[in-house]
Structure 1
Amino acid sequence: MSRTRTASVRAVGRVGRQGGPVQADGRTAAPLSWVWLAAWPVTAVFVLSNAATPLYVLWQRDFGFSKGTLTVVFAFYILGLIGSLLVSGVVSDRIGRKPVLLPALVLALLACLVFATATGVAALIVARLLAGVAVGAVVSAGMAAVTDVAGPERKRLAALLASCAMVFGAGLGPFLAGILSETLPAPTVTVFAVEAVLLVTAVLVVLRMPIQRSPSPAKGAWMRVPSVPRGRGRQLIQGVAVFAPGLAATSFVLSLGPSLLSGLLGTTSRIVAGGMAFAMFLTATGVQFAVRHLRRHTILTAGATGTAMSMITLIIAVHASSAPILLASALLAGAGQGMGQLGGLSLLNSAVPPQRLAEANAALNVGGYVLAGVLPVSAGYLSDAVGLTGGATVFGVVLMSLAVIGGLVVLTGRDKAPEPA
């Protein structure tokens, strides 16, 4: 090894002139504060992703649509998200994170405008579609940007912050929307005006983000089903096997949770509905910090267990007409998604090179959101046909089975060797 290379390696971990550690390649990494700031655009866009949840009772009252139609509106969000994931990950790996993040934030601002001025179901569908496209781009490019800013020495921290930014924003959206819509006039306008301000601050963060393009971008078709490099498929499968059921569980709570609360408590309070979603995602955030030092496969196994337990308590809640048990189910769903997401992202961060990381993140989320789109929509229409209790029971049994299978996939495919830091 040359003297230059040796000195470079020894410099890892030392503090550079601008406050960040010196990396193995001799470059000064970004200060820790920027690693946290890089996660803010992810949070801001995910606030939008669920801000509409407490407002659906208002739109149902004004526009007159069923629970099945409600889940279709949600499905268009999934459609936009998956369509975006087919492109945004690859594009981000090739031309950089900022050229993907900035248009995504513009689309998110446009979604706010459409939501605020909606006069029918069609407008809600358009707004959810735009929000889905924006979220898909941020899931791939934004979460990869956090890893890029963090540098190779802080990969586990990057996975933790990117994952927590996603679930915290997803919970903060309905919570803020519930409070604002109950306490301020013109609720559907006020909520999205506040969210627009948050998105503008995210634009400012992206513009100043200390991030560089990959020196060796990936090749191949610009639009394709996202994938991981050869030999890394096992990590992707294990992540999807746990993340997908967890995401479907929280998606069910978001789409049909207010209807369940209305049936169990006889209340249409938007604060209560938003509060339950916030508690669910706050649990998803907190549990990730609690388990961050565990082995990745242990985190995934715990995530599968949490999702399975969530479905058991969901079935009990709807048959016992118990709101506290329903809340317990939501909290377990949040824990299941949080650990499944953290475990999946951590596996990919440890195994996939930076020039393919956004595409790998997109692949993980495609696997998760396909299931999260299909099952809740099916449960919504089934609930219209046989009642909310019957629909929730069938959904719970199916998803519990998938969570158990996901746990078995992780247990049978885990490595015996020690995991890298």
Structure 2
Amino acid sequence: MPETQRMPEPRQAAPKPAVTLSPAAHSPGALSPVTLSPGAWRAVAAAMFAAGWGGNQFTPLLLMYRRLGGYSALSVDAFLGAYVVGLVPGLLLAGPVSDRRGRRPVLVAGTVASAVASLVLCFGGHSAWPIYAGRLITGFAVGIAMSVGSSWVKELSSGTDGGLAARRAALCQTAGFGLGAGIAGVLAQWGPWPMVSPYAVHILLTAAIPVLLLRVPETRPARAGGSVRELLGALADDLRVPAPARRRFRLVVLPMAPWVFGAAGLAYAVTPQLVGFRVGDWGLAYATGLTVLTLGTGVAVQPVARWLHSGKRNGAAGDRAAGSRTGRAPIAAMAVMLLGAALCAANAVLLSPWLAAVTAAALGAGYGIAVVSGLLEIQRMAGPDDLAGLTGVYYMLAYAGFLLPTVLAGLSSWLSYPVMLAAVAAAALVCLGLVVTGARVTEPTTPAR
């Protein structure tokens, strides 16, 4: 019997019971049970937090790069686009690879990459190429953290309700996004070496996390290797939505997912540039405040998303009651998104810093509900062998929305922002209609256990 499975001595008593994952919880390649302590997920959450910090620390610095670096609006929005380009392989490949080679080595590599990206960005003060390279690597690291980290947190949270695992993953990532942006913005506005010090803080924050990850139990032991062709085929299988869930995926998840980070892009990439001239020298601090407000609201409403999803705040009873109620969270998310997009379009005409703050809060609420409800949808659809892969697909769709500021900037030579943002609000209305229809005509799918 493995050492981790021995019965404790009668005089010993653990403060909380450990959870044992049997080989049945894994693929056929799993060799032995794994005993998990109740806090095993925390180091993984720290890695997600640090990756989120690195991913969003750049966002409030857009105005700084325009003023101090001399970059155009299109250039700084293109820096965001480079981030999304890096995300795609991180999201699509890291999850399936971790299904076959283990969660730990992939997430350790992603955490190291996040620190390396900040190091590269330190050299981007007067040259665009380190910024493009750093943002590309940052995107890759965040993609790994989101797909592999979310799946590992769920597996390490075995024994709790599924909604708690989704909230843990979303909360840690969102908290990293918010605090990273907040600290970076403060340092850039008032600290020394504004183009270096924000990244130095992230490097220090990340330094110890790979060591902590080495102590986390592996929940997906490495499988025996196969040919490259077999591996590519297996990776493709992991990215395929299970047949019973495809209709719901198309009608509920697909129309909602791009708005997760589309809302974020509107709130703290588009809005500050529209109203920045109204706040003068406080533009960078104002942009930082909008970013923190958006993500802080997203954190605050995440428990509401779980309640909307299940009809209960906690417990298995809520999961059993979910049934047809699970459509409420995506519908609520898109309704709030529509409100935020409409406010953003109105403020493109009014250009009010105060209305911009209200808009950021609304878009943040839509973001918070959407990111949790989307993860819950994916966890219901996916089986244990394709959880990380489908999580990566979901986040890839979500991050496609982060290209919205770049698209708007590229079209601004031909169309005004009020016109473009009115079209964005109309698109949100269409997506709301699709989600309402999909939630009514499809039933939630529970993955095989």
TM-score (norm 2): 0.82
1:327 aligns to 2:357 (yes or no):
yes
Match of 1:182 in 2: 189
Match of 2:233 in 1: 221
Distance change >3 Å, CA 23–CA 203, structure 1 → 2: closer
Match of 1:300 in 2: 330
- Note the residue ranges of structure 1 that are not aligned, 5 or more in a row: 1-14
Contact 1:178 1:272 in 2 (8 A): no
- Count of residue correspondences: 406
Distance change >3 Å, CA 356–CA 20, structure 1 → 2: farther
Distance change >3 Å, CA 209–CA 383, structure 1 → 2: same
Contact 2:265 2:401 in 1 (8 A): no
Match of 1:200 in 2: 207
Contact 2:327 2:440 in 1 (8 A): no
- Note the residue ranges of structure 2 that are not aligned, 5 or more in a row: 1-11, 24-32, 225-229, 311-325
Deviations 1:252-306 (A, max 9, x none): 3332233123134344432221111111111111101233233332111111111
| AA matched with 1:167 | T
In the alignment, the residues of structure 2 paired with residue 233 and residue 411 of structure 1 have an alpha-carbon distance, to the nearest angstrom, of 13
1:121 aligns to 2:155 (yes or no):
no
Question: What's the offset of the Cα at 1:419?
Answer: 12
Q: Secondary structure at the match of 2:162?
A: helix
1:282 aligns to 2:288 (yes or no):
no
| AA matched with 2:172 | A
Match of 2:412 in 1: 383
| AA matched with 2:17 | G
Question: What's the offset of the Cα at 1:76?
Answer: 0.9
Match of 2:261 in 1: 247
Match of 1:4 in 2: none
In the alignment, the residues of structure 1 paired with residue 446 and residue 134 of structure 2 have an alpha-carbon distance, to the nearest angstrom, of 46
Contact 2:104 2:214 in 1 (8 A): yes
Match of 1:12 in 2: none
Distance change >3 Å, CA 19–CA 416, structure 1 → 2: closer
| AA matched with 1:52 | F
Contact 1:288 1:338 in 2 (8 A): yes
| AA matched with 1:137 | I
In the alignment, the residues of structure 2 paired with residue 323 and residue 332 of structure 1 have an alpha-carbon distance, to the nearest angstrom, of 14
TM-score (norm 1): 0.87
Contact 1:226 1:360 in 2 (8 A): yes
Counting aligned pairs with the same residue, the percent is: 22
Distance change >3 Å, CA 277–CA 160, structure 1 → 2: same
Match of 1:8 in 2: none
Please point out which of 404, 415, 420 is paired with 2:432.
Answer: 404
1:47 aligns to 2:59 (yes or no):
no
| AA matched with 1:188 | M
Quick check: 244-253 or 110-119, which moved more?
Answer: 244-253
Distance change >3 Å, CA 384–CA 364, structure 1 → 2: same
Distance change >3 Å, CA 412–CA 253, structure 1 → 2: same
| AA matched with 2:443 | D
Q: Secondary structure at the match of 1:76?
A: helix
Distance change >3 Å, CA 101–CA 75, structure 1 → 2: same
Match of 1:369 in 2: 399
Question: What's the offset of the Cα at 1:28?
Answer: 7.3
In the alignment, the residues of structure 2 paired with residue 410 and residue 188 of structure 1 have an alpha-carbon distance, to the nearest angstrom, of 46
Contact 2:248 2:439 in 1 (8 A): no
Deviations 1:287-330 (A, max 9, x none): 01233233332111111111010011111222122212111111
Question: What's the offset of the Cα at 1:221?
Answer: 2.5
RMSD: 3.0
Deviations 1:74-105 (A, max 9, x none): 11111110122221111011111111111111
1:62-141 mapped onto 2 (5 Å cutoff)? 62-118=68-124, 119-141=126-148
In the alignment, the residues of structure 2 paired with residue 413 and residue 201 of structure 1 have an alpha-carbon distance, to the nearest angstrom, of 48
Question: What's the offset of the Cα at 1:141?
Answer: 0.5
Match of 1:142 in 2: 149
Contact 1:241 1:407 in 2 (8 A): yes
Quick check: 321-330 or 129-138, which moved more?
Answer: 321-330
Distance change >3 Å, CA 247–CA 200, structure 1 → 2: same
Question: What's the offset of the Cα at 1:232?
Answer: 2.7
Contact 1:91 1:222 in 2 (8 A): no
In the alignment, the residues of structure 2 paired with residue 299 and residue 108 of structure 1 have an alpha-carbon distance, to the nearest angstrom, of 32
Deviations 1:360-379 (A, max 9, x none): 10111122222432x32111
Match of 1:3 in 2: none
Distance change >3 Å, CA 395–CA 121, structure 1 → 2: farther
Contact 1:19 1:30 in 2 (8 A): no
| AA matched with 2:350 | A
Quick check: 118-127 or 410-419, which moved more?
Answer: 410-419
Distance change >3 Å, CA 302–CA 184, structure 1 → 2: same
| AA matched with 2:336 | G
Distance change >3 Å, CA 360–CA 325, structure 1 → 2: same
